[in-house]
Structure 1
């Protein structure tokens, strides 16, 4: 059974991400964890209000569950309601560590409707700490079965089955086309990149896979060019292990894509999480 974490702040944006998750996995046995985090400045300053916050949080979770049941009522899905005083990124770390979730699906902005503020904090923090796949859903994005999955890559790593299996599983279930896209800054592929590209082709053998080498100054620019001829229903990137400077650069790409993307954005971890390696 697939275990999926669904963070919510009870906004319409958060419920829209929940709706996407329930529809995407409509034919799968899934256990969804509805999570509302209580940690905020008010709670720190007025801890005596914790009981009130907890009560409202539980009420919000119950109402969200009732809304899901009313709208979908899928017998293949079970739901767990969690109200936590932890910060969201800490909840994510803990739940991935104890192997209680396989994936996170969340909205890119929340109740305030401010893309830049909330994508720059909540979602980016979640992406940084998540050692499992994380799928973000843009505000007001209407669910449709993916037809084109775009995987942005430089072909600079050895792709693992753990990384690619989820992508492959979604493509098989939705009968989507896979588009491997490289932003070409003016250089040819090195031998290692050619080998990685061939390995990717072998992994997706039998599935509709196309490689795109697009001349562009940045990944977002290359995506924009590709989108002019191929609608992007899901964008996929791998979060690599990097140095501090490279992490800053990677985060800037995440920000830029997040602010401009009108499609769901799936971030895959660099490798399968193993607690013993911490």
Structure 2
């Protein structure tokens, strides 16, 4: 059984992410942890209201669970409700370490009009903290089976050593085609990149893959251009110092970015992580 952590602030955005997770694993035995973090400025100032905050959180979690069970009943799913006064990124670190969380799914506001952060603050901190896969669901994103998955990378990771089992499990489940995209910036692949390319192609050979290279000035420009001709339902990246994910996630403004994150975004950790038996 897989275990999925679902942070929620009881907004419609977070509920949409929860629905996505339910549908993604509708045929799989899955334990979902509904997590509400109560850490905020009011609590720091009015710590005497601990009991009130806790009671309201517990009631709202129960209300959310009833809504989930009414909208998406599923005999394969079970739930745990958790309220905590820790900050979200701290709770994520502890629970991933203690409970071997297989995946975190959470809603994110996304970029709007090229003038805001690509992701909300909580999502950015969660991605930084998570040592397991994290799936960010943009506000309003409707569930579509991930039949085509865009996997851009700079081919600087040793894919003979890095385990892509979680991505492979999604691909196997939905018979997905992987679109491996490299942005060239006008340069040819070096020897190590060619080796990584070959390792990826061998890894995904039985599933079906497409390999593409685009010469553009920026990664975001390349992603936008590729999707014009190749519709995809999920974007996947690996979080490590050798890839361009740092620029994608943590740039302060996106006025120069031509691509808005409008599809589910799966972030894989930089280090290998223990596989769970589903």
Partner Cα separation in structure 2 for residue 198 and residue 254 of structure 1 = 35
| Aligned counterparts, 1:140-219, within 5 A | 140-159=140-159, 163-219=163-219
Counterpart secondary structure, 2:82: strand
Partner Cα separation in structure 2 for residue 144 and residue 254 of structure 1 = 30
Q: Please report the RMSD computed on the Cα atoms of aligned residues, expressed in angstroms.
A: 2.4
Q: Residues 163 and 268 of structure 1 are in contact (CA less than 8 Å); yes or no, is this contact kept in structure 2?
A: no
Counterpart secondary structure, 1:4: strand
TM-score by structure 2 length? 0.90
Query: Are 2:270 and 1:270 aligned?
Result: yes
Counterpart secondary structure, 2:164: helix
Q: Residues 233 and 263 of structure 1 are in contact (CA less than 8 Å); yes or no, is this contact kept in structure 2?
A: yes
Q: Residues 38 and 84 of structure 1 are in contact (CA less than 8 Å); yes or no, is this contact kept in structure 2?
A: yes
Q: Residues 31 and 78 of structure 1 are in contact (CA less than 8 Å); yes or no, is this contact kept in structure 2?
A: yes
> Which stretches in structure 1 are left out of the alignment for 5+ residues?
none
Q: Deviations over 1:86-137 (max 9, x none)?
A: 0000000001111431110000139xxxx94692410000010100000000
Q: Residues 103 and 132 of structure 1 are in contact (CA less than 8 Å); yes or no, is this contact kept in structure 2?
A: yes
> Which stretches in structure 2 are left out of the alignment for 5+ residues?
none
| Aligned counterparts, 1:224-263, within 5 A | 224-241=224-241, 249=247, 251-252=249-250, 260-263=260-263
Runs of 4+ in 1 over 2 A off after TM superposition: 115-120, 160-163, 246-259
Aligned length: 268
TM-score by structure 1 length? 0.90
Distance of aligned partners of 1:211 and 1:255 in 2 relative to their CA distance in 1, 3 Å threshold: farther
Q: Residues 120 and 255 of structure 1 are in contact (CA less than 8 Å); yes or no, is this contact kept in structure 2?
A: no
Distance of aligned partners of 1:183 and 1:117 in 2 relative to their CA distance in 1, 3 Å threshold: closer
By how many angstroms is 1:251 displaced?
Answer: 3.7
Distance of aligned partners of 1:253 and 1:188 in 2 relative to their CA distance in 1, 3 Å threshold: farther
Q: Which moved more, 1:211-220 or 1:162-171?
A: 162-171
Q: Residues 177 and 207 of structure 1 are in contact (CA less than 8 Å); yes or no, is this contact kept in structure 2?
A: yes
Q: Which moved more, 1:193-202 or 1:97-106?
A: 97-106
By how many angstroms is 1:32 displaced?
Answer: 0.3
Match of 2:220 in 1: 220
Partner Cα separation in structure 2 for residue 220 and residue 155 of structure 1 = 17
By how many angstroms is 1:247 displaced?
Answer: 8.4
Q: Deviations over 1:172-217 (max 9, x none)?
A: 1112211001111010000000000000011112111011101111
| Aligned counterparts, 1:1-278, within 5 A | 1-109=1-109, 116=116, 119-159=119-159, 163-241=163-241, 249=247, 251-252=249-250, 260-273=260-273
